[in-house]
Structure 1
Amino acid sequence: MTDPIPARLAALKTTPTPDLKQQWRDLFDSEPPPFNRRYLESRLAYRIQELAYGGLKPETIRRLERLGEDLDGGDRHKRYIRTDRMPIAGTRLIREWQGVEHVVTVTKDGFEWQGRPYKSLSAIARGITGTRWNGWVFFGLKNQRGRT
């Protein structure tokens, strides 16, 4: 007997989005998240394989948790920050605001502006403009729609 799982996974690419969302409801017993189609496909593919072949072994889960704690010191918030989007330490971000050039240096722990350390670009943008800004947008690292 042939394994039906590879065919099911391949079919995800051509399945209409409403049907993907229904599969999500069936497989996860919850409403699908409001993410893009690619996200739904990848998570559904994983779930289908997990149910058919089994999930990660408990020892693997423990090991991954330990590795994560080694990387982030147990700070769960840091686990959700995409490090690949952070500029490399030493990068200088330059923004002119009302005729004044502002230079921000990316550090290993955050940012530096006018000789002071900051955890976020938004705090720096607020310091420059006096109003709330998304710091990534202010410095041109992300457009208004959230794309980098």
Structure 2
Amino acid sequence: MSQTDGIPARLAALKTTPTPELKKQWRELFDSEPPAFNRRYLESRLAYRIQELTYGGLKPETIKRLERLGEELDGGDRVKSRKRADHSDKPITGTRLLREWKGVEHVVTVLADGYEWQGRPYKSLSAIARAITGTRWNGRVFFGLKNQRRSA
């Protein structure tokens, strides 16, 4: 039996693994604390990491090509690229945002002129977060699009 035989079953098991166990796996596989993103993000990154450790990651030439493409976009200016990522307005139309809240998964679809949650249109993510939680939230923080605390 090879090392790769159990990988498909391990990946499939991520879907039903409790969130605290996913976070434990994250700590083991990445040697860092898991980010405050939604469950689906954890599942997809863990699945990638499991495969990466088993089958290998990107080839060095692929990494170099991606770095070159990134430099073409922002001239290699790390401050500019971070600023663009941190201050981008809204996700691309059609993007689905997933958030688990008190055991219930909520799916929001990004529209050209707002958002849709449970078949209803909303102008802001904050309004959706308020409808879900009953309290005021920054919608971008609630859906994992922005860290709660900005680093200096």
TM-score range, shorter chain: 0.5 to 0.7
- Following the alignment from structure 1 to structure 2, what is the Cα–Cα distance between the partners of residues 55 and 49? 8
Structure 2 counterpart of 1:26 = 28
Larger radius of gyration: 1
Which residue is equivalent to 1:48?
Answer: 50
1:78-126 deviations in Å (ceiling 9; x for gaps): 4442868379xxxxxxxxxxxxxxxxxxxxxxxxxxxxxxxxxxxxxxx
Count matched residues: 96
Q: Where in structure 2 are the equivalents of 1:1-148 lying within 5 Å?
A: 1=1, 3-80=5-82, 81=85, 85=90, 143=126, 145-147=138-140
For CA contacts below 8 A with separation 6 or more, give which structure has more relative contact order.
2
How much does 1:146 deviate? 2.2
Comparing 25-34 with 40-49, which one deviates more in the overlay?
25-34
Output the aligned Cα RMSD. 2.7
Q: Which runs of 5+ in 1 are unaligned?
A: 88-139
Aligned match of 2:98? none
TM-score, L = length of structure 2: 0.53
Compared with structure 1, are the counterparts of its residues 29 and 16 closer, same or farther at alpha carbon in structure 2 (3 Å cutoff)?
Answer: same
Q: Distance in 1 between matches of 2:22 and 2:91?
A: 32
Between the aligned residues of both structures, percent identity stands at 75
Closer, same or farther: CA 73–24 of 1 in aligned 2, 3 Å: same
Normalised by the size of structure 1, how large is the TM-score?
Answer: 0.55
